[in-house]
Every structure is written in C-alpha cells, then in structure tokens.
Amino acid sequence: MKQDAKLISLLRSAISSTIDDDGWSSLAEIGGHIKNQASFDSRNYGYAKLSSLFEAIDLFEIERKNRAIYVRNRQKSPPHLSSSYGLHHRRRT
C-alpha cells in the first residue's frame, strides 16, 4: 500500500489538516476530514477500520491515549555517523 500514491497523499493531507500543536492528529478528525474530501472507505483497501489501515501502511506513528487514537507522520531518525567515520578521519601522526 505504500505504493498507492493517491491513498498516501489523501492520508497525509488529512493529517496536515487536522494536526495539533504536538504534531498529532486525532483519528476521528482524520476520518471526518477524509469523508468530507473523498468517497473513501478503508474497506476498499481490505481493512474494516481506518486505524488498521494506518497500522498496515507503516508510514505513520500511532498512539493510543485512553480511548482515543492519534496519528502522525513517522519521524525520520536523525542521520547517524558511520561507526567507521572515526577510523577514516583520525589525525595521522
């Protein structure tokens, strides 16, 4: 499903439109936004629930707080220096 550019674009747009100050979007708000924008149904992708669809795509972080579900775009990890970096850049004596 990561290859379905239209689906990913729709989901990312819904997140962007409903995002809070902490960078998270309520799944309920995302669902409401999608309903207003397109004739979307997660069952067309084989998932009974929108939360299951988000979990399957694996491009998003999902957090459950009490009975609510929140989603955000997966954060890219900061670039790491290769462990061999120091070996190639040591001062030669």
State residue 73 phi and psi, 5-degree precision.
-65, 140
Is residue 92 a part of any domain in this protein? no
pLDDT value of position 87: 45
Rounded CA separation 27/24 (Å): 9
Residue-level pLDDT, tens digit, the chain, 93 residues = 567 899 999 999 999 999 999 999 999 999 999 998 778 899 999 999 999 999 999 899 999 999 999 999 987 765 555 444 444 444 444
pLDDT value of position 37: 77
In this prediction the pTM is 0.75
Torsion (CA) 29, 35, 36, 39 in degrees, nearest 10: 160
Rounded CA separation 35/15 (Å): 13
Domain count, the chain: 1
Is residue 22 a part of any domain in this protein? yes
Is residue 35 a part of any domain in this protein? yes
Per the DSSP assignment, residues forming a β-bridge with 68 are 65
pLDDT value of position 58: 87
**Domain containing residue 32: CATH number:** 3.30.420.610
Amino acid at 62: I
DSSP E strands in 1-93: the ranges are 25-26, 60-65, 68-73
Is residue 81 a part of any domain in this protein? no
Amino acid at 68: A
Is residue 12 a part of any domain in this protein? yes
Is residue 42 a part of any domain in this protein? yes
Is residue 44 a part of any domain in this protein? yes
For residue 48, the enclosing domain spans 5-73
Is residue 24 a part of any domain in this protein? yes
